[in-house]
Chain A
Amino acid sequence: MADADVDATASAHALELRRVVKSFGPVVALRSGSLTLDRGSIHALIGENGAGKSTLVKVIAGLYRRDSGDFLLEGEPVDFTSTAQSKAAGIAVIYQEPTLFPDLSVTENIFMGRQPTNRIGRIDRRAMRDEATQIFTRLGVALDPERITEGLSIADQQIIEIAKAISLDAKVLIMDEPTAALSGVEVERLFAVARSLRDEGRALLFISHRFDEVFALCDTVTVMRDGSYVDTTPIAETSVDELVRQMVGRDVTDLFPKLPSEVGEVVLEVDGITRAGVFRDITFTLRAGEIVGLAGLVGAGRSEVARAIFGVDPYESGSVRLHGRPLPKGSPRAATARGLALVPEDRRKQGLVLDESVSRNVTLAIRQKLAKWGLLWGGAENRAAQEWASRLEVKTAALDAETGTLSGGNQQKVVLGKWLATEPTVLIVDEPTRGIDVGTKAEVHRLLSELAQQGLAILMISSELPEVLGMADRVLVMREGRLTGEFARTDATPEAVMFAATADAEAAK
């Protein structure tokens, strides 16, 4: 069990952060981050998207350097300028997407660069394999140390990352949303591993949205909201209700100017689409003039559903009808031509060509429409870019500035402009305001509201509860690839949505 030493001077906390601040230009990612981790404890860190958890972790990991605030390790102040330094200090981070060498064996992945050698420098494979086996036994896991890591499930890859951390004798292990891609059995296994690590006296930080897991595994919980620390309580002394209240905090109803709009006929019908291992039996409809929010946790499969409808990803069964006509699978071009547009989740990797100008980006999806006799002169593109950039009030030095130089908010506006230029009747936006400043956020919400008023049907995927609750006429909720809830605006409370997103329906009763 946890070390019961009460003498404050004798047992420093394993890790302590106090009022840490981190900004990126105008975006304040971390307003006031605080955290106290003790040895022999599994500590939960919860908060919504944008609460600052990820930034806090990256500061601890040495990826970012904090602007101000205290950072102590075992009572000693530290200041990491690289991840190598934090690793050397005994901090290990297990990310959702582990970086391993797919062509090499599990054992080699654990020990690469530090393989045990004998006197002449020859790698001692048996010692390596034995140590790996020992670690896995200690963790209570059955993994063949000799198989190559390619094709291993995320769960197994995480175990390998943990094994790496153990072989480096990490004193602090941070697990960032580790269960997002895991099945029930794999989650149980991960928990058993975490408990054994805790019993060895290490400090664990468990970041998660899933309350059932937090309550099952952790002994303490810290809540963050809007980039700031809110509170820390022992798990035994709090409840889901209380935590949700702390996470959500403010009054959500009058933040976003959702204008009333007339809801018209059905324009999009999604019927039972399924993609093995990703999403199952997704069925819903969208009407002109309404904004439907699609809520859920990271990894629930919402973006995958959107991409499948739009045609970037495949799906195996089910159908999609747009304006009553079947929409062919796998062709974004057909979808666009028929009036469907998708503003993707990752604007830098999927939404924009960062090295190209604003003008080119805005006109990329309508380039064929702009061409006269198949030819494009700069003129038509610039005119279209001028129109859309000014409509959305994009701030840029010039139309031929590279979009990579714009701020996040303006980049998002360019992506929106690009897709609005295709004159869609159905618009899917995936995390439309992620990582952009408050002012631009409000502009985007106002824009979406106006579009709905003008008759567009909008599906808004968002992990930010206030945004979903404020903007949507209806809220759909997904969890682990399935639709688990549908709420009308009046019935959609933060708690109800959260429950549908995190808990089994049975467990909630």
Chain B
Amino acid sequence: MTAATASSNGRVAPARVYKLHARPAWRRFLLTREAAIIALLILVIAIASVTVRNFDSPLTVTYLLRDVAPILLIALPMTLIIITEEIDLSVASIVGLSSVTTGILTNAGWPFVAAALTAIFVGVLCGVVNGFLVTVVGLPSLAVTIGTLALFRGIAVGLLGTTAITDFPEFWTDIAKANIPGTPIPVIMIPFAILAIIFAVLLHFTPFGRSLYAIGLNKEAAQFSGIDVGRTKFILFVLSGAVSGFAGVYFTLLYSNARGDNAMGMELQVIAAVLLGGVSIFGGRGALHGVIAGVLLIGTLGSALRLAGVTSDIINVITGVLLILSVVSASFLAWLQARRSAAVGKKKGRAGTSPDGS
């Protein structure tokens, strides 16, 4: 095909050259929710380093990252799920079930690696259950994962009851608690970094990632574009289960204990962090760097406040307030923007919604 189209009087119109971006780079990068969260994180770190005693010791970093690692891990697939306008409330229960599996198998004499792999596989199975109910049976993910939250946790508690398994090979528990030599950074951050890079590339630099945003913003248009919505969502739930399974193994090693009620309530922390990090609950919007900052923000706040002597319940209150503030502010900003574009539209003579003929 020719590079230029012919206009009606035979003259060949020159090919247009378009600007890539409507706004300058600084506006594109700095006026985003992700930038706001990163700025807030830096601010909190700065204030805490100055005002809270012992905050800037390397131990703080170690404990913070070690504790927050499961949430960091699970936030990765959770981000993708929420971008497609679904949700997975069962992640903490999968962590618990994976933990219990690790414990029971280790107790039964299995080599640890086999037990851990099986636990991760259990997580995958849980993800398959979720994915099946959502994409094949066609149920809303909220309802399904409320049910599986109870079911998976119930199986975990049922298997172990009130007993806790605390006997794990020292080799592995040491690794879980160790730092990268010469730094205060825990070893778990290596697998996390690898996973984070994989998920970031997946979300931001692959066709698969593009399809996630399309699904979240306009499922129908995505289908018309050849995207297999059901299969995509199924994959996401399986990923979520797998990563939660892995987080469960780590959790077990970190605290040297496998209990049915491990990680109870963690799903709320993950979701709070993801939403805080700029991902829209309505789907179609969000980025991983914001999410990681969101998790670190909640972790840092918690750590700093704990060191300052604030009890964990107040920290929970603050987490809740942050969560509500972040979604209400997103709503508010959207409302402001709608009003502004309607006003501009009026100036340009265009109505808020263009009509569809007839």
Contacts and interface: CB of A to CB of B under 8 A. Distances in A.
Contact of B1 (A25, A349, A454): A454
B5 to A, nearest CB: 6
A391 B201 CA distance: 31
Contacts of B21: 398-400
Contact of B221 (A27, A333, A353, A386): A353
B101 interface: no
Interface stretch (A47-55, A179-187, A270-278): A47-55
A151 interface: no
A134 to B, nearest CB: 36
Contacts of A217: none
A109 B15 CA distance: 57
Contacts of B339: none
A392 B356 contact: no
A509 B16 CA distance: 55
B228 A333 contact: yes
A326 to B, nearest CB: 18
Interface stretch (A7-15, A167-175, A230-238, A365-373): A365-373
B354 A390 contact: no
A391 B224 CA distance: 23
B22 A351 contact: no
A26 B228 contact: no
Given A25-B350, A399-B21, A407-B354, A312 B222 contact: no
Contacts of A333: 226-228
Nearest to B356: A435
Interface in A343-362: 344, 346, 348-356, 360
Contacts of A192: none
A398 B92 CA distance: 44
Interface stretch (A71-79, A247-255, A375-383): A375-383
Contacts of B210: 360, 364, 367, 376
A336 B217 CA distance: 22
Contacts of B30: none
B351 A386 contact: no
A312 B219 CA distance: 12
A332 B221 contact: no
A392 B6 CA distance: 10
B206 A349 contact: no
Given A25-B349, A398-B19, A350 B221 contact: yes
Contacts of A405: 341
Contacts of A348: 354, 356
Given A333-B226, A353-B222, A368-B207, A393 B5 contact: yes
A447 B226 CA distance: 24
A474 B213 CA distance: 40
B5 A392 contact: yes
B20 A391 contact: no
B163 interface: no
A401 B225 contact: no
B352 to A, nearest CB: 10
Contact of B220 (A29, A52, A350): A350
Contact of A371 (B206, B218, B349, B356): B206
Contacts of B18: 385-386, 389-390, 396, 398-399
Contacts of A352: 218, 221
B357 A49 contact: yes
B354 A435 contact: yes
Contact of B22 (A335, A398, A435): A398
A391 B14 CA distance: 10
Contacts of B15: 390-391
Contacts of A178: none
B223 interface: yes
Interface in B255-309: 284-285
A353 B218 contact: yes
A485 interface: no
Contacts of A407: 350, 354
Interface centre among A51, A55, A364, A387 (most CB of B within 10 A): A364
Given A50-B357, A390-B16, A398-B22, A367 B207 contact: yes
Contacts of A349: 218, 220-221
B29 to A, nearest CB: 13
Contacts of B357: 49-50, 54, 431, 434-435
Nearest to A52: B358
B59 to A, nearest CB: 39
A466 to B, nearest CB: 14
Nearest to B28: A400
A352 B5 CA distance: 23
Nearest to A434: B357
A446 B7 CA distance: 9
Contact of A351 (B1, B205, B224): B224
A24 B214 contact: no
Nearest to A375: B205
Contact of B206 (A342, A374, A408): A374
A507 interface: no
Contacts of B222: 353
Contacts of B205: 375-377
A397 interface: yes
Given A350-B221, A376-B205, A376-B206, A49 B226 contact: no
B22 to A, nearest CB: 4
Given A29-B355, A390-B15, A332 B223 contact: yes
B255 to A, nearest CB: 38
Interface in A30-54: 49-54
Contacts of B354: 24-25, 27, 348, 407-408, 435
B356 A356 contact: no
B194 interface: no
Contacts of B225: 332, 364-365, 418
B221 to A, nearest CB: 5
Contacts of A371: 206-207
Contacts of B226: 332-333, 335-336, 365
A257 interface: yes
Given A25-B350, A398-B18, A376 B224 contact: no
In the complex, the 5 A-B pairs of residues with the closest C-beta atoms, listed nearest first: A435-B357, A25-B350, A398-B22, A367-B207, A54-B358
Interface of A: 23-27, 29, 49-55, 257, 312, 332-333, 335-336, 342, 344, 346, 348-356, 360, 364-365, 367-368, 370-371, 374-377, 382, 385-387, 389-393, 396-401, 405, 407-408, 418, 431, 434-435, 442-443, 446-447, 450, 454
Given A27-B355, A446-B8, 6 more contacts: A24-B350, A346-B356, A386-B18, A387-B3, A390-B17, A390-B18
